[in-house]
Amino acid sequence: MAGSGGGAGTDTGRFRALFEPRGVLVAGASTHPGKFGFVSLHNILACGYEGKVFATNRDGAEVLGVRSVAEVDDLPAGEIDLVFVCTPASTNADLLRACAKKGITAAFIASAGYGETQTDEGRQAEAELVALADELGMLLAGPNGQGVVSPPAKLCAQIVAPYPPRGHIGITSQSGNFVSSFENYAQLTGVGISRAVSAGNAAAVTVPDYLDYYADDPETRVALAYVESVGDGRAFVERLRGIAARLPIVLVKGGASAGGQRAAASHTGALASDDRVFDGACRQAGVSRADTIEQAYDIAATLATQPLPRGNRVVVVSTAGGWGVVTADALARTSLDLIGLPDGLRLAIDAELPPRWSRNNPIDMAGGETRDTVPRVLQLAASHPDVDAVIFLGMGIQANQAKLMREGPFWPEHGLERIVAYHERQDARFAEAAASVSEATDKPILSATELAITSPANAAPAAVRASGRLCYASANRAVTALDHLWRRSRWLQRRGLPIR
């Protein structure tokens, strides 16, 4: 697609029509609550979209309180930017022509019956749809997609749940179900999204097109994409390289092992499996490639909420021993460096903790954690010039005990009420300290505890969420995410690009 800038007839203007529409039309609204034409209208209305909502329905029926019309011609002009299309493929050409006359510049086609059918008819219908959108100057998302979500506009135009919290991750996927998966992680972690769009068959607007828009979108700090087919691999990677210099991209590729090794005359060729070449191309392009969906969300959420480390020198701070040990093991498998504690830092911590602390890295506070020592030790570690990042472990233990007391038969007598309040306040303070020290030092501090998923209401993970950051479900997941952050930072530094 050509053209830039922000006007209505430009790419940016059309993407804005998709993500920040002034009004939305659901074409093919249905009174049957099982149909796409009902669900999409339901989700738009239920999630609080504040623009005008219109609907077409063959019989002009009222759906969810919206008075529909039978023909687009009966709608007002200049009030609608986006049409969400649930009508049969055969009727969509006429529909888009009528929409263009009303000033609509973006269409999300949920309808199936196109290229995904793998039939000549389907492929031809798709080609005709693309040509028509081109002729009409209309952005064409899909077809065969699940929808578009844009929390800054309170827009949830999709045929699936959930409606995720607002944040700074821009999502696009060749599989609509993975858009949902990512949105579920946004809900679980509280680290929200800026935009999410299912590329569907990506007949006109492709995954790199969305990423390119996200790079200039002030709401988006990191892009998260799922792809299966990349078509012309070289063109795909070269576009991603141009975008990755401006915006971090986290990518999951499905079918990574499908190609396998091909027969080749040369040894080099024999070693050139699809996945190895793609992996090298991603590293070259500065794209953070994730192995799994949950890892991808961890990395994206980290890029969205933590500053980039300047180097790979890590200190682990733990309230108790075992966690630090396994975290050290996890670090040893990455490009990160668990540094020996600098003498000055050891002496400074000596002054804060009882003598039983570990006196090396990982820093095991060995029960010496108090409302004062945790913030002080985090501050000392993170502000040290030889430290680039901190991993913080062992929060939430006391609040977990508090939960058992609160739910037990002795509550609130025997002094339980007071101690529970104290424990919960304490664990919240630890989490808050991690966020505020990270902000003050501009260095990443990643807090990890399995309570993030086993007991999300625990004061520690709850306070991490309230600080806008990800509470990692395990130390090794924090290590993996931090490793990707460091690799991103190193890629930028080695190429003289600004670290952001």
Instruction: Give the one residue of 120, 258, 266, 408 binding other proteins; rule: CB under 8 A.
Output: 266
As measured in angstroms, the least distance from the Cβ of 241 to other proteins is 9
* Binding footprint of other proteins, residue count (CB under 8 A): 25
Residue found under tokens 């999709």:
158
> Per rule CB under 8 A, is residue 418 in the interface with other proteins?
no
- By beta-carbon proximity to other proteins, the closer residue of 117 and 284 is 284
Angle (CA) 445-447-449 rounded to 5° is 165
Instruction: Give the one residue of 227, 237, 431, 475 binding other proteins; rule: CB under 8 A.
Output: 237
Distant-in-sequence, close-in-space partners of 246: CB < 8 Å, separation ≥ 6: 215, 216
Which of 130-138, 229-237, 338-346, 407-415 is the region at the interface with other proteins (rule: CB under 8 A)?
Answer: 229-237
Residues numbered 269 to 288 that lie near other proteins (CB under 8 A) are: 269-272, 274, 276-281, 283-284
CA distances from 192 to 247, 399, 481 (A): 17, 25, 17
Number of neighbours of residue 83 by Cβ within 10 angstroms = 34
Give the tokens for residue 24.
């939305």
38 φ/ψ sector (left φ>0, alpha ψ -120 to 50, else beta):
alpha
Give the tokens for residue 366.
């060995």
> Per rule CB under 8 A, is residue 257 in the interface with other proteins?
no
Q: By rule CB under 8 A, what string of x and - marks binding of each residue 457-496 to other proteins?
A: -------------------------------------xx-
- By beta-carbon proximity to other proteins, the closer residue of 116 and 274 is 274
> Per rule CB under 8 A, is residue 20 in the interface with other proteins?
no
Which of 7-15, 227-235, 441-449, 450-458 is the region at the interface with other proteins (rule: CB under 8 A)?
Answer: 227-235
Residues numbered 103 to 162 that lie near other proteins (CB under 8 A) are: none
Which of 230-238, 297-305, 373-381, 398-406 is the region at the interface with other proteins (rule: CB under 8 A)?
Answer: 230-238
> Per rule CB under 8 A, is residue 265 in the interface with other proteins?
yes
Instruction: Give the one residue of 5, 34, 268, 351 binding other proteins; rule: CB under 8 A.
Output: 268
From CA 426, how far away is CA 423, in angstroms rounded? 5
As measured in angstroms, the least distance from the Cβ of 234 to other proteins is 5
As measured in angstroms, the least distance from the Cβ of 178 to other proteins is 22
- Tell me which residues touch other proteins (CB under 8 A): 230, 232-234, 237, 264-272, 274, 276-281, 283-284, 494-495
